[in-house]
Amino acid sequence: MVFEHFERDLARYMHELGPLPERRVWRFALQLLQALAYCHAHRVAHRDIKPQNVLVKPETDEVKLCDFSLARTVVVQPTISQCPETHRVASLWYRGPEILLGSEKSGDQSGLRLDVWSLGCVIAEMMLHEVLFPGSSEIDMLFKQFKLLGTPDELSWPGVTSLANWSDRFPRFRAGVWCEKIQSNPEMHNVISSLVCCCPPRRQSAGALLGHSAFRMLDPALPSQPKPLGSDRRFSGQAKRPEVSPTAERLPELHRAEPHHEALQDQLFSRLARESSCPEALASSKKARQKASLLDEWHLNTQIRNVR
């Protein structure tokens, strides 16, 4: 694959520039959502979204998604040979809880939902100028996620207690409070919390979020927000969108997700959500290895804390 030349990636750009202006965060977030919506509409899961894989052109405020080395074509009904080692995709800080817990769902379903989670973490990092979940290990990552979002249960995430790495001994964290910089910005909090959600089926798709009022203020040509996916009611009580000024700032000419692409993406998400997991015969030995590894580390950390 050949990409146009960009001088730096988002990680280096944030390191050099320092905290990004809020307006620039919104502009970057919009372009990344457009890129992700385009990929998902064409049945491609990136599976490694992080600042190092986002290229930046400061002169025009353009960003591009790059490094598709872990990308995968979405297969709605995977065969045994198509079931990947899903817990090995994505960099640790941007890995969703379903991956850490050893979900044996279709790798492609995990890839789409993982992309959404990872993008939410990147947007939060741009806003905060620090990593949202800077875990030092898989179990540390999991607990940091639970401390902010709350330890999931069968009510908030159906099926979570049956995942390979789940343990009833996990601490029961209540949902914490988001950082003030995000909490004090209702629209930003709304967008990030729609992406960074423990239960994968409750995460908003990139195409759905393109209709958010904040993005339509940046680009009036975007369509209105479609209905949320599944049972997610996060946007149902949203305040009336402000009218868009005809002189609103326009972005550089970028790919614009077409309505039929958004519809295809939402149908794909809904269809994948109904898919069954990989065959048990293939998954059983993998589950045992994952669970032993993760829980051994957790027990070791627990013992160390008790000694201290």
- pLDDT of the residue at 121: 98
- pLDDT of the residue at 223: 59
- pLDDT of the residue at 217: 78
pLDDT digit string (tens) for the chain, length 308 residues: 677 889 899 999 999 999 999 999 999 999 999 999 999 999 999 999 999 999 999 999 999 999 999 999 887 665 544 554 445 678 999 999 999 999 866 444 678 999 999 999 999 999 999 999 999 999 999 999 999 999 999 999 999 999 999 999 999 999 999 999 998 999 999 999 999 999 999 999 999 999 888 887 776 666 554 443 333 333 333 333 333 333 344 444 444 555 555 555 555 555 554 443 444 444 454 455 555 455 555 544 553 354 34
| 48 catalytic per annotation | yes
Q: Pick the catalytic residue: 48, 108, 115, 266?
A: 48
- pLDDT of the residue at 221: 65
Q: Are 36 and 115 in contact (CB under 8 A)?
A: yes
Domain ranges of the chain: 8-235+250-307
Q: Helix 22-41 and helix 107-128: axis angle, to 10°?
A: 170
Please provide the CATH number assigned to the domain covering 8-235+250-307: 1.10.510.10
CB contact set of 125 (below 8 Å; sequence gap of 6+): 14, 51, 131, 132
- pLDDT of the residue at 145: 98
| Residue reference for tokens 């064409």 | 42
- pLDDT of the residue at 304: 39
- pLDDT of the residue at 215: 86
| Residue reference for tokens 């009580």 | 237
pTM, to two decimals: 0.74
